[in-house]
Structure 1
Amino acid sequence: MHLIGLTGGIASGKSAVAQRLASHGAIVIDADRLAREVVEPGTPGLAAVADRFGAGVITADGMLDRPALGAIIFTDDRARLDLNAITHPLVQQRARDLIAAAEAHDPDAVVVYDVPLLLEASSQSGYHRFEKIIVVEAEPATRIRRLVELRGMSDHDAARRIASQATDAERRAIADIVIDSNGTLDDTLAQADDVWTQLREL
Structure 2
Amino acid sequence: MTLTVDQVMELAPVIPVLVIERIEDAAPIAEALVKGGLPALEVTMRTPIALDVMREMAKVPGAVVGAGTVLNPAQLDAALEAGAQFIVSPGLTEPLGKAAIASGIAFLPGTATAADIMRGMDMGLSRFKFFPAETSGGLPALKALAAPFNTARFCPTGGIRFETAGNWLAEPAVKCVGGSWLVPKGPVDAHRIEELARAAASLRG
Same fold (TM over 0.5): no
TM interval, shorter chain, is 0.3 to 0.5
Instruction: Work out which of the two has the higher radius of gyration on C-alpha atoms and give 1 or 2.
Output: 1
- Higher share of residues assigned strand: 2
TM-score by length of 1: 0.33
Question: Does 1 or 2 have the higher relative contact order (CA < 8 Å, sep 6+)?
Answer: 1
- Higher share of residues assigned helix: 1
